[in-house]
Amino acid sequence: MKYTVSILLMLLLAACSKPTNNNKVDPSTVNYQMRATLNGQSWTSANFDNSNLPVTWLKDTSRPVTLWRITGQNLNNGQSIQFNLVYNAITLNADYGLLYPVWPSDQGFYISFNSQNNIYGGIVANNMTFPRAEARLRITKFDGERMSGSFDFKLGRYISPGVWDSVVVTNGVFTDITR
């Protein structure tokens, strides 16, 4: 009888244990605010549990020319994308390409991609220019609160003289991002 009670107690405890899926969300069911193809693989603005991680924008008017910043992150893989537009006003459906502003008064657009402490850009270490840097950002909707658009880019990371690592992002979109 004593052994029967022990076995029943162990079966009851086993039945009440947590599931082993570590409570992650199925990414195919999430409407991510930012998504793209990164070096041929799907990339999203995801939280640790694969849920949507909000993408944000900010407007900094403390400079002679306004800085607009859009930031998306994936906490699962330690990656982030950041767009910086240096224009007083945003023009809808215009293709912004890489144009490095000379602070504090020039207009321009630049982007960075960070992956686990590796920073990729068009101008990187000691102002060396990645020879094949490309980027396009298009704002398709902005009502003062919510912003949507699309993007593509190819950026580099300097390793040593003549040696670069690169990241290619295609089919990028961000949808209804807020401050």
Each residue's pLDDT tens digit, 90-140: 999 999 988 776 655 678 888 889 998 888 887 655 556 677 788 999 999
Task: Judge contact between 72 and 112, C-beta under 8 A.
Answer: no
The domains of the chain are located at: 32-177
Q: How far are the Cα atoms of 10, 36, 113, 148, 156 from residue 130, in angstroms, in the given order?
A: 62, 22, 13, 28, 6
Lowest mean pLDDT among 75-84, 123-132, 142-151, 152-161: 123-132
Q: Which two tokens stand for residue 117?
A: 């402490």
Q: Which two tokens stand for residue 137?
A: 């950002």
Tell me the DSSP string of 99-122: B---TTT--EEEEEEEETTEEEES
Cβ-count burial of 33 within 10 angstroms (0-12 exposed, 13-18 middle, 19+ buried)?
buried
The CA distance from 11 to 32, in Å, is 40
Nearest Cα neighbor of 179 from 143, 150, 151, 155 is 143
Spatial CB neighbours of 132, under 8 Å, sequence gap ≥ 6: 154, 156, 166
Each residue's pLDDT tens digit, 9-57: 343 444 444 444 467 888 888 889 999 999 999 999 999 999 999 999 9
Residue 87 in 3-state DSSP?
A: coil
Over 90: is that where the pLDDT of 149 sits?
Answer: yes
